[in-house]
Structure 1
């Protein structure tokens, strides 16, 4: 189940189904023809993936189990036979791609409707649909360590985010502890020009001149 988000497997390939149904290459199909191929594929699954149950069932499941003396349940013969299928064993043997390669998984093997529904339930859809690409690139850069040597910049961003959060809650910046690298840069700027620091502070935040002395 960690190998695929698909609801099942073991059906003939989509190009083969396309040839059976229409006698022409799948790549030349219209959206309606592709949907028909996908529907046929679903009907010909040899096993069904139930991710919510962390289980795999046969389409011919007898909906009964045998309980052994050790109290462990044994699946019905139809479900048990899945383990002997060559296609299923091949699917299990296929290596799981690392997280940084998942973006290269073809869209035809994804379940975008299910994924988007999950994002809606967790309040994340706007992060995917409405956040500018630049901000997504920045977030990925932070996660990948691209900004490890830019502590002052990250400190400034952190200070701004927390400043806006406090503003939204009607709180000031009293007793706020600024990130060390950002705070050191503020002190250096203050020592060079008090006026420049005041302008900088009005935008990004920072300690009061009195607390810097």
Structure 2
């Protein structure tokens, strides 16, 4: 699996954190390019995460406006998903995105304590509450469709999400300093823990093509590498 959270070096895009939260319209390339500064794609209130899908669409999580913007490869804005709220399809500080195969979008909806799954056309599909909720037993970790407008929320703070080629979903929880793995058959477990000083202040994760899990830990000033079997390779 490719690391989808790393923006290709060949894509010269400058993201500006603006006070008004205005978004550029039309083709960004029509605005002109400064080789030193890059091309201004759009302005965001608080751009938090980027991802590119196999069709070269760019996804931007704007935590300030609680939306996800989708741009075509030529810079044209395709859609703006979400908006502030707790209901399905809305966000509270989205912090990470994984467009997987370009057909389904996973969004770490941080302060709602969940990962949402949407189509790339913006249709809400289901939510994965991370941590404890009032609607399920401890240890149960399943996607819920939230039909009828019901909120689906967990009690932790997911700030990273990635899906591997076998369908497993990895979620980085900043509150408990853990990485959770949700398998394609609905089983879940904490695969990396903050206990014992292993994770101090994790801020990001990515999956490599060699089935390794990479975790950036600001507290340890290090990037940790884990095998899927969870043996630490380097730090």
Higher strand share: 2
Higher helix share: 1
Q: Same fold (TM over 0.5)?
A: no
The TM-score with structure 1 as length reference comes to: 0.20
Q: Name which structure has the greater RCO, CA cutoff 8 Å, separation 6+.
A: 1
Return the index of the structure with the highest Cα Rg. 1
TM-score, normalisation: structure 2:
0.19
